[in-house]
Chain A
Amino acid sequence: EVQVVESGGGLVKPGGSLRLSCAASGFAFSTYNMNWVRQAPGKGLEWVSSVSGGSGYIYYADSVKGRFTISRDNAKNSLYLQMNSLRADDTAVYYCASESIWGQGTLVTVSS
């Protein structure tokens, strides 16, 4: 079965850090560009970051540039998002996604 499963979300204080993980299975992960997309409560979808299959190209939304770092380990079929200096407006469900494959998301809540 083709799927991606996110983990690592939780409650963190403003200024804190969190690392999200995404485990992929059922497809040739290394050939897919992968993304993190987030959705704040009651809001629409917002792209966060992308990484190409071989990690040669990495892009970030302006809202997270300098604070978040995307990475992948193709040997482990895994995608990661290191989130530092978290703010209240980073609160959202974070989805690991290619354009065609989406996980169920992991909730990140930034609150004191």
Chain B
Amino acid sequence: QSVLTQPPSASGTPGQRVTISCSGSNSNIGGNTVTWYQQIPGTAPKLLIYNNDDRPSGVPDRFSGSKSGTSASLAISGLQSDDEAVYYCAAWDDGLNGPVWVFGGGTKLTVL
């Protein structure tokens, strides 16, 4: 069971906007920044969003992130077929024995 909670699946049609949620607690999302990764099967995770809502160069502005309290969201607008992937949220958790990098269980996005 993952420390961060994501829906296991999401879907949309081309051109639509979809949102993926990520729920945590005060010790992780509530006190630290959230990162989002995209993983196409058989490949390594790719950084999509860092510092809650910043995009690295090369990531289209169709991807956006937000955070409020102990929850975060990834929004993808203008959905495209090659957006089909698994999306993970991540945050550092202020564990009792030191920081722990925690991940959500992943959300599989299907483009219908």
Binding site secondary structure of chain B: strand
In the complex, which residue of chain B has the Cβ closest to the Cβ of A100? B47
Q: B91 to chain A: closest CB distance in Å?
A: 10
Q: A22 to chain B: closest CB distance in Å?
A: 12
Establish whether residues A100 and B101, one from each chain, have CB atoms under 8 Å apart when the complex forms. no
Size category, B interface: 20 to 34
Residues of the B chain whose Cβ atoms lie less than 8 Å from the Cβ of A105:
44
Residues of the A chain whose Cβ atoms lie less than 8 Å from the Cβ of B2:
44
Establish whether residues A45 and B50, one from each chain, have CB atoms under 8 Å apart when the complex forms. no
Instruction: Check A47/B46 contact, CB under 8 A, given A99-B35, A100-B56.
Output: no
User: Which of B10-18, B60-68, B102-110 makes up part of the contact surface?
Assistant: B102-110
Establish whether residues A59 and B44, one from each chain, have CB atoms under 8 Å apart when the complex forms. no
Total residues of chain A contacting the partner, CB 8 A: 18
Instruction: Check A50/B101 contact, CB under 8 A, given A45-B88, A99-B35, A103-B44.
Output: yes
A82 CB–B CB distance under 8 Å: no
A80 CB–B CB distance under 8 Å: no
Residues of the A chain whose Cβ atoms lie less than 8 Å from the Cβ of B37:
45
Q: A43 to chain B: closest CB distance in Å?
A: 9
Q: Which of B43, B45, B97, B104 has the most CB of A within 10 A?
A: B45
A104 CB–B CB distance under 8 Å: yes
Establish whether residues A47 and B47, one from each chain, have CB atoms under 8 Å apart when the complex forms. no
A73 CB–B CB distance under 8 Å: no
Cα distance A102–B39 in the bound complex, in angstroms: 11
In the complex, which residue of chain A has the Cβ closest to the Cβ of B95? A59
Residues of the A chain whose Cβ atoms lie less than 8 Å from the Cβ of B43:
104
Cα distance A84–B99 in the bound complex, in angstroms: 23
Establish whether residues A45 and B106, one from each chain, have CB atoms under 8 Å apart when the complex forms. yes
Q: 8 tightest A-B contacts by CB?
A: A47-B101, A59-B98, A45-B103, A102-B44, A44-B106, A44-B105, A100-B47, A104-B44
Known pairs A47-B103, A100-B50 / 13 extra A-B pairs, C-beta < 8 Å: A35-B101, A37-B101, A45-B45, A45-B103, A50-B99, A59-B97, A59-B98, A59-B100, A100-B56, A102-B44, A102-B45, A102-B47, A104-B44
